[in-house]
């Protein structure tokens, strides 16, 4: 079963606008990661945020984590057509062994030129 739920399921914006995607999860986590997937290909790791962190930046990406609300958000600023992809959040927690990641259903982002 899916741990996370992304919101919205689909998002369409114009180039240059900001895109915000949200992720909610159900159980306690150790870390939360965001991945990008282009056209059903492999997943590209974007950013990892640990449970004791509240915000993290990487280039045009900004991730926040609110463990009290069991939610995270991914903000992509000044979007480009090349950002068009599916975005997934993935969690790992103390209850699961190894490096098992539990993914959400994903947000399909379309950036129109």
Residues 53-112 that bind other proteins (CB under 8 A): 88, 90, 92-94, 96-106
Distances (CA, A) of 18 to 23, 61, 76, 91: 17, 10, 6, 24
Nearer to other proteins, 5 or 15 (CB): 5
Asked whether position 40 contacts other proteins by CB under 8 A, the answer is yes
* From candidates 20, 22, 24, 31, binder to other proteins by CB under 8 A: 31
Q: Which is nearer to other proteins, 4 or 83 (CB)?
A: 4
Any contact of residue 2 with other proteins (CB under 8 A)? yes
Residue selected from 48, 53, 64, 110 as contacting other proteins according to rule CB under 8 A: 48
Classify residue 53 by its DSSP letter: -
Least separation in angstroms between residue 81's CB and other proteins is 22
Chain centroid to CA 39: how far? 17
Please give the residue ranges that form the binding site for other proteins (CB under 8 A): 1-2, 4, 30-31, 33, 35, 40-45, 48, 50, 88, 90, 92-94, 96-106
């Amino acid at each position: 079963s899916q741990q996370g739920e992304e919101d919205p399921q689909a998002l369409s914006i114009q180039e240059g606008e900001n895109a915000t995607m949200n992720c909610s999860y159900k159980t306690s986590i150790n870390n939360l990661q965001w991945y990008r997937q282009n056209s059903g290909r492999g997943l590209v790791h974007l950013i990892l945020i640990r449970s004791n962190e509240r915000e993290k930046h990487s280039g045009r990406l900004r991730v926040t984590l609110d463990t009290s609300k069991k939610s995270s958000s991914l903000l992509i600023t000044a979007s480009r057509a090349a950002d068009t992809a599916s975005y997934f959040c993935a969690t790992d927690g103390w209850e699961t062994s190894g490096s098992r990641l539990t993914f959400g259903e994903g947000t399909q982002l379309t950036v129109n030129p």
